[in-house]
Amino acid sequence: MRTLTEGPHPWAAGVVAVAGRGPVIAVAEATGWAVRYSSYDPETDTGVELPPAARVPVAVDTPFDLASLTKLFTSVAAVQQIERGTLGIDARIGAYLPEFTGVAEHGVTVRQLLTHTSGLRPELPLYDCPDAAARRDMLRAEAPSAEPGRYLYSDLNMILLQFVLERITGRGLDTLIADGITRPLGMTATRFGPCPGAAATEDQRRPWAKADRGMLRGVVHDENAWALGGVAGHAGLFSTAPDLAVFCRTLLAGGGYGPARILGPDFVELLLTAPGLGFAVDQPWFMGELAGRGAAGHTGFTGTSLVLDPATDTYLILLANTVHPIRRPPANAPRANLATHLSRAVRDA
């Protein structure tokens, strides 16, 4: 794993990998730096390294910006409401948010948001809006750009789902996730930012980024989540690998962990069974050889990923700051390779 953090253009400044089977954590390793650079130099296309004494080494319990792994928590929060009968999986979004005319007029449903089949485009430039009212107006007017029913991955699905959840419960998404997931499971390191001790992400500046915010650490990397105040359905959570191991263990065990239960087994199966609700299923591009027998998981733009393999009761968590000091084209081979190593280790065992 050390090779992932070495050289002038490493895959990531720092990497944490945790793998487990059943109740046992088999691998927990960390390498590299939570903070390695002070800035990015576009003229040399290299990071400006901090003096060795000023760098921060990564540890197994270092918090990372989860990016789109946040979607998994939003999905669980939604399925909790489905289990309670307060949210209909095939209900139209217009029934809950009639003022969101763009999706209401096209009959977009909760299931379509959870499966990325709403037809909504990948994102909107909410970060360019002058205020919250303008952001809300943009989202209300947004209509599907493709025919609903066809897969098109979109952050807007989970942002709208957040608004639905907040409307039907009267509580913020941060409270729903804390009260319904992280607090019952004892996941004390998982929360929306700010998170001062987190691994650094990007020297966020135009033209390569969508906002001029400088070197980020402990505040959400995603520009739209930042524009929404740091709490968003698609991004914004910070967590550690040990906390995520509890989350994985809970889902693989049918929704319970110790004395806590966050979902019933039938509803966990609904989350994880193809096509998956929020979770992607059998995607070899990041699951490697774990894919093909019902593995479920997700990736995050900052360098995070999570894979559950119900067939063998195993999971793999990879946390990395691949965007430190700057975002680069995705390179998913390390994710797939580690998943393949885990698959072969389980097979050989």
* Contact call for residues 349 and 22 (beta carbons, < 8 A): no
Q: What angle do CA 338, 277, 15 make, to 5 degrees?
A: 25
User: φ, ψ for residue 129 (rounded to 5)?
Assistant: -75, 145
pTM, full prediction: 0.97
pLDDT score recorded for residue 186 = 98
Number of domains in the chain: 2
The sign of the torsion formed by the CA atoms of 241, 247, 251, 253 equals positive
**Average pLDDT, stretch 65-90?**
98
Answer whether the bond into residue 98 is a cis peptide, omega within 30°.
Answer: no
Is 71 found in the same domain as 37? no
Same domain, 180 and 238: yes
Do 47 and 36 touch, CB atoms closer than 8 A?
A: yes
Residue 52 shares a structural domain with residue 72: no
For residue 4, which phi and psi values (nearest 5 degrees)?
Answer: -70, -20
Q: Indicate whether 46 and 70 sit together in one domain.
A: no
Q: What's the confidence (pLDDT) of residue 349?
A: 74
Mean pLDDT (whole number) for 315-331:
96
Backbone φ, ψ for residue 211 (5° rounding):
-155, 160
28 and 128 belong to one structural domain: no
- pLDDT value of residue 9: 78
Task: Supply the DSSP symbol for 109.
Answer: B
In DSSP terms, which residues pair with 27 in a beta bridge? Answer: 19
Q: Is the CB of residue 329 less than 8 Å from the CB of residue 18?
A: no
Q: Are 11 and 107 part of one and the same domain?
A: no
Residues 220 and 268 grouped into a single domain: yes
Q: Mean pLDDT score of the chain, rounded to an integer?
A: 97
pLDDT score, position 2:
82
pLDDT at 82: 98
The parent domain of residue 81 ranges over 63-195+213-278
Q: Bridge-partner residues for 192, per DSSP? A: 237
What φ, ψ does residue 281 adopt, rounded to 5°? -120, 130
Q: Does a structural domain hold residue 292?
A: no
Enclosing H/E stretch for 188 = none
Other C-beta atoms closer than 10 Å to the C-beta of 231 total 21
* Residues 151, 57 within the same domain: no
Whether residues 100 and 45 fall in one domain: no
Residue 294 lies in a domain: no
Let me know: does 279 contact 75? Beta carbons within 8 Å: yes
Is position 271 within any domain? yes
For the segment 113-143, what is each residue's pLDDT rounded down to a tens digit?
A: 999 999 999 999 999 999 999 999 999 999 9
Q: How far is CA 123 from the centre of its chain?
A: 15
Q: Are residues 157 and 267 in the same domain?
A: yes
Q: Please state, in angstroms and rounded to a whole number, the distance separating the CA atoms of residues 210 and 258.
A: 43
Say how far apart CA 135 and CA 126 lie, in whole Å: 6
Place of tokens 């390569």: 208
Q: Give the CA-trace dihedral at 58, 62, 68, 71, to 10 degrees.
A: 160
Residues 9, 55 within the same domain? yes
Whether 55 maps to a domain, the answer reads yes
pLDDT tens, position by position, 182-237 = 999 999 999 999 999 999 999 999 999 999 999 999 999 999 999 999 999 999 99
Question: Are residues 148 and 106 in contact, defined by beta-carbon separation less than 8 angstroms?
Answer: yes
